[in-house]
Every structure is written in C-alpha cells, then in structure tokens.
Amino acid sequence: MEANKHQEHILVVGGGSGMGLAVANRLLEWGATVTIAGRSSERLTLARERLGADTPRLHTVVADVTREDDIERLFASTGDLHHIVWTAADVGGVYVPLDDMDISTARRVVDSKVIAPVMLAKHGAPRLIPGGSITLTSGIAAYRPAPKGSVVAAINGALESLVYALAVELAPLRVNAVSPGWVDTPIWESVAGAGKTAALEAMAKRLLVQRIGQPDDIAQAIEAVMRNTFMTGTVVHVDGGQRLV
C-alpha cells in the first residue's frame, strides 16, 4: 500500500465540510488523489480553497447522492477508484418529538443515510479496483438514542446492518463503518442552533475523555479502517466512551 500511495484515487462523498473535509485533507497530505462530492457547489468551492485551490490531486463534483442519476454521473466522472468514503448526512428538521414529526422529512433523512449508501455501493463497487474498500459513517444514536432522535437512531442502526450485508455480498471488496460520537461539526448548527456550545460543553463533561470529538479524530479512524486490509464487516466506535456513560 505504501509504495502505491501516490497512485491512489479516493472518493469522499460529503467531503465539503466537517468530517469529510478532514478526511480529504488527511488523504491529500498522504499523497492520494481525492475527489470530493457534495450537493452544494458553494461548499465545494470553499472546501477547495481550504484544501488548496491549486492542488492538481484534488477534484470536486457536484452531485446529489439521493438521486441515482447523479450517482451514475458521479462514477462516470471518477473512473476507477481505490476507496470510497461516505460521510454525507442530511438530518435537518428531524430532531423533533414524534407528535411533530413531518414524515416527508423523515423519508428525506432515510434517503440521505440509508438509500444513498445502497446506491453508492451499487454503482461504486464496479469502479473499485481489487483490494478496494467502502467506508460508511453511522453514529452513536444507534446505541444511545436521545429523546426526539428516533429517526436518527433508526437510520444509524440500519446503516450498520447494511455494512454487514454489503461486506458479504461485495467480498472480497471490504465494507466497514466508523461510528462517531458527538463531534464539533457544522451539522450541530441545524441540530442545536444557538444551544450548540452549551450542549457540547455538557456532553464533554460526561465523556470519559472529557472532551468533544473533532473532525480529525474521525478522519484518523476512517483512514485506519480504509488501510487495514484484514478488516471488513466491522463498525469502529470513535465516541470518547459515550456508549459506556
């Protein structure tokens, strides 16, 4: 693997911000060619500026991964890949009591974090070279659900079951997931709004490591999972011990 690092091409879906951006940064520093895909052209432009606008090994593709035609177009543009990393999620508006739940919103979230990875695997697996991998991102809600978080708990649990099934069906390609705990990313702006800082500080006091996660904590784990050629059908927890407290 080490000898071929400069020849690797890795797709990061959701790489425009947060954990995905941190993954893209680590991979670029490592010497790989990286394509980041996301729905927002503005966010991808900002990501390119942060990662290095003149970096020839960085490519961006605007794509809505909840649309199969967009996914087909995405993989038509990437060509062969060594690894696929998926960190995308659209959970805005879903942290509400069941009585207030808009079912169309719930369906949008399911599409973004369950159906989208299915389509990603369907069209991405044929693009992966032998020895390639898919790494998805689930989350602590599957294990420690919170009030108002039933939909998020359900989709994270479903995604992890999907990982087990895909690892069997796509073998010898490897499929794994990383399950983050509370991480300081832009998604908290939509989840907690003005209460973001207080919520994160309160959780930090509870966690065994006494701090909230940072995007690079998750990026390190994703890279490690991607590199370990004996790991498949596995969920790696990077949650500061949250499952234990």
Which ranges of the chain does DSSP label H, i.e. alpha helix? 18-30, 41-51, 68-78, 103-110, 116-124, 150-169, 187-192, 196-206, 215-227
Tracing tokens 């290095």 back to the chain, one arrives at: 52
Let me know the angle formed at the C-alpha of 164 by 138 and 5, rounded to the nearest 5 degrees: 75
Q: Which two tokens stand for residue 226?
A: 């991607």
Which is it for strands 235-238 and 174-180: parallel, antiparallel or unpaired? parallel
Q: Is 138 a catalytic residue?
A: yes
Residue 84, CA distances (Å) to 12, 203, 209 in order:
6, 31, 30
Of the residues 17, 112, 133, 138, which is catalytic? 138
| Phi–psi pair at 163, nearest 5 degrees | -60, -45
Cα–Cα dist 114/117, whole Å = 6
How far, in Å, CA of 87 to CA of 19, rounded? 7
Residues 33, 219, 32: CA angle, nearest 5 degrees = 15
Q: Which residues are catalytic?
A: 138
